[in-house]
Structure 1
Amino acid sequence: MIDNAQRNREAEVNLLAAARDAQWSATTFLGPGSLKLVSPAKVNLLLAIGAVRPDGYHEARTIMHALALHDTMYVHAAPASADEVARAATESRAEVAVGGPAENLLVSIDLSDRTGQGLAVAAADNLVFKAADALARALDRRDCERVSVRIEKHIPAQGGLGGGSSNAATMLVALAQLWDVPADDDRVVAVARSLGADVAFFLQGGCAQLGGTGDTLERTLAPSRQAVVLVKPADGVCTAEAYRRFDERPTPVQPAVLEAACAAADAADVPLVNNLAPAAEALLSELVAVRQWLADRVGAQNVLLCGSGSATFALVDDYDAASALALAAGKQGWWARPTNLSGLRAAIVPSRR
């Protein structure tokens, strides 16, 4: 049981964090020339997992769609001294990591959680740092440099919404701009693909069909603007475990359904299918309750698990309906947000002059 003293301590921490956020400014904390970027979430309208390949990955065909729900990122790069980088490498601070081709890249990451679910990731484990490190190596940047990052998180972790992958893609977009490299440079795209199947999608955004292991762009579709509600229980699903369960009892997508999805020119015409969902639901039974709760309200054909979970999305008539449904889901004890399908991608927000 949580006692009053612990509640007071937590309230004090929350108030301090809120005060710090209220005073935060990109120019003050990162410096002039900081980039502001949007880092959108996604859903899979189609997720058709296939057989395991010789390299250990699964064949996968997916149609991803960006959402209006997004994290906001700020990125600034500046020269650093060798002593500064070396000192940071020995201090073992959770918010700082050192990488680059000559251990010359100092990356600091400030996470501001706006999801209400709590978030604590060491910089060295953050896909944002891995993106910066990989791109610096691909470009063979050897001058000592400090990259400061602020991430305001609205996309919950372990939801299948691609928040971490989107942040990594957004970091690549930011550094390409700061390092004077085209965002569609082959090296940027190659780094994105090396970081995970979803990262390359966020460079494209909108609605796109991907093949291979889900990382190879096959075509784009006309995006939709339909309203969506996202609902997520507190617990997450281990993606690796979901795939292991899937391999024990594979459930391929019916050829006719896959053909219809792959023939659709418009996102609105894609049937909602996810053959990884039964494996994920077997690991977290609360997903069944969420799916059934949403299906009772909007129809089963409009409800689908996001990737391997644990968020489930439902297509609804309009934003007001999504807001009402999110409010009702919150009363069930679930995290829930209204949003829209969107044409967004990882992108720099134009500065106002």
Structure 2
Amino acid sequence: MKAIYDVAAPAKLNLFLHITGRRPDGYHLLQSVFMLIDWCDTLHFELRQDGRITRTDLGSEASEALPAEDLVVRAARALQHASGTALGVHIGLKKRIPSQAGMGGGSSDAASCLLALQRLWGVRLPAAQLQAIALGLGADVPFFLSGGHAWVEGVGEKITPLALPAARFVVVKPAAGLPTDAIFRSPGLKRDTETATIRGFAANANGSVYEFGHNDLQPVAQALCPQVGQSLDWLSMQHLQGRMTGSGSAVFAHMPHEMELAVAPGDWQVRKCSNLDAHPLAGW
């Protein structure tokens, strides 16, 4: 095999995100449901025999240049080192998922890279070893290796597959972004939300899993980035109940039926998205 083209890397939405504690090493303990949606980056992989790992930025819908050492390059190097292969790769990456959005774009790219390069290089690591590499790259990367929606706990490493009903969503990414570190460092962040259960999530009293819980990061994010609150207000004007995904700045709302949306500010990204039945690379 000399190349693999058009590899999809889907974004995620956090249906809720509770911070339940903090470890002695400073890492936060969370509970969340991660849901895959059809807002995807695209990657291309071409085999190199010289062992080099190179990457081309194929452009971004937000006109953001990729850093020289992004998660995709780090993922490729980590797999190359762990597998001992002498092969290399040239990667082309087309970014569509916005950065600093809380949608996991970089983490999804890294996971798709790990899966695709195992096939391109003809290597197969044990699942536990691949998961360890993924967690070393970032807390969200193991989820994107799991193949579908999931209940996620710990620092992101405890993953339980979860079925979700098909649904449509409005996703809004305002122009302003949010660095994750600034939110988790905030003294105002709530870190003691009561532990939830999968059973409680599935039996949500409101009758919809899409109304369960809240996002503990949202109040801090709104204080740091007024556009988060403005985006939520815009969703409210459409009679939709919005909440932030991840550490923001993107927000979303379940759309119970197809509807026309009011005009949003021109520098915002607004999309109607569907959740996915499974990750496009499930089974790789």
- TM-score if structure 1 supplies the norm length? 0.73
Which amino acid is the alignment partner of residue 168 of structure 2?
Answer: A
1:313 corresponds, among 252, 275, 282, to: 252
Asked whether the equivalents of residues 38 and 348 of structure 1 are also in contact (C-alpha less than 8 Å), the reply is: no
Rounded Cα–Cα distance in structure 2 between residues aligned with 1:174 and 1:260: 31
Q: Describe the shift of the 1:259–1:348 C-alpha distance in structure 2 as closer, same or farther (beyond 3 A).
A: closer
1:264 corresponds, among 176, 179, 202, to: 202
1:73-127 CA-to-partner distances (Å, cap 9, x unmatched) read: 11122211xxxxxxxxxxxxxxxxxxxxxxxx42221222342x2111233x210
Q: Describe the shift of the 1:315–1:173 C-alpha distance in structure 2 as closer, same or farther (beyond 3 A).
A: same
Q: Does 1:196 align with 2:134?
A: no
Greater helix proportion: 1
Rounded Cα–Cα distance in structure 2 between residues aligned with 1:338 and 1:316: 9
1:51 corresponds, among 6, 11, 21, to: 21
Rounded Cα–Cα distance in structure 1 between residues aligned with 2:155 and 2:92: 31
1:242 corresponds, among 162, 174, 183, to: 183
Q: Does 1:181 align with 2:123?
A: yes
1:294 corresponds, among 228, 235, 245, to: 235
Q: Describe the shift of the 1:190–1:337 C-alpha distance in structure 2 as closer, same or farther (beyond 3 A).
A: same
What is the CA-CA distance between 1:151 and the residue it aligns to? 1.3
Aligned to 2:70: 126
Rounded Cα–Cα distance in structure 1 between residues aligned with 2:240 and 2:156: 28
Rounded Cα–Cα distance in structure 2 between residues aligned with 1:340 and 1:332: 23
Rounded Cα–Cα distance in structure 1 between residues aligned with 2:169 and 2:265: 18
Which amino acid is the alignment partner of residue 59 of structure 2?
Answer: D
Q: Describe the shift of the 1:251–1:186 C-alpha distance in structure 2 as closer, same or farther (beyond 3 A).
A: closer
Aligned to 1:338: 272
Which amino acid is the alignment partner of residue 312 of structure 1?
Answer: V
Q: Which moved more, 1:167-176 or 1:46-55?
A: 46-55
Q: Does 1:107 align with 2:107?
A: no
Asked whether the equivalents of residues 47 and 62 of structure 1 are also in contact (C-alpha less than 8 Å), the reply is: yes
Q: Find the residue that maps to 2:76 and give its secondary structure.
A: helix
1:253 corresponds, among 193, 213, 236, to: 193
Asked whether the equivalents of residues 4 and 120 of structure 2 are also in contact (C-alpha less than 8 Å), the reply is: no
Q: Find the residue that maps to 2:185 and give its secondary structure.
A: helix
Aligned to 2:103: 161
What is the CA-CA distance between 1:348 and the residue it aligns to? 8.1
Counting aligned pairs with the same residue, the percent is 32
What is the CA-CA distance between 1:232 and the residue it aligns to? 1.3
Which amino acid is the alignment partner of residue 65 of structure 2?
Answer: A
Rounded Cα–Cα distance in structure 1 between residues aligned with 2:283 and 2:40: 13
Which amino acid is the alignment partner of residue 100 of structure 2?
Answer: Q
Asked whether the equivalents of residues 329 and 335 of structure 1 are also in contact (C-alpha less than 8 Å), the reply is: no
Rounded Cα–Cα distance in structure 1 between residues aligned with 2:60 and 2:224: 27
Rounded Cα–Cα distance in structure 2 between residues aligned with 1:283 and 1:345: 33
Instruction: Tell me the C-alpha RMSD between the 2 structures.
Output: 2.6
Q: Find the residue that maps to 2:73 and give its secondary structure.
A: helix
Rounded Cα–Cα distance in structure 2 between residues aligned with 1:232 and 1:45: 16
Which amino acid is the alignment partner of residue 227 of structure 1?
Answer: R
Q: Which structure has the greater CA radius of gyration?
A: 1
1:232 corresponds, among 155, 159, 173, to: 173
1:265-304 CA-to-partner distances (Å, cap 9, x unmatched) read: 899525152111101111001211111221232343xx11
Which amino acid is the alignment partner of residue 72 of structure 2?
Answer: V
- TM-score if structure 2 supplies the norm length? 0.89
Which amino acid is the alignment partner of residue 119 of structure 1?
Answer: E
Asked whether the equivalents of residues 329 and 336 of structure 1 are also in contact (C-alpha less than 8 Å), the reply is: no
Asked whether the equivalents of residues 202 and 209 of structure 2 are also in contact (C-alpha less than 8 Å), the reply is: yes
Q: Find the residue that maps to 2:100 and give its secondary structure.
A: coil
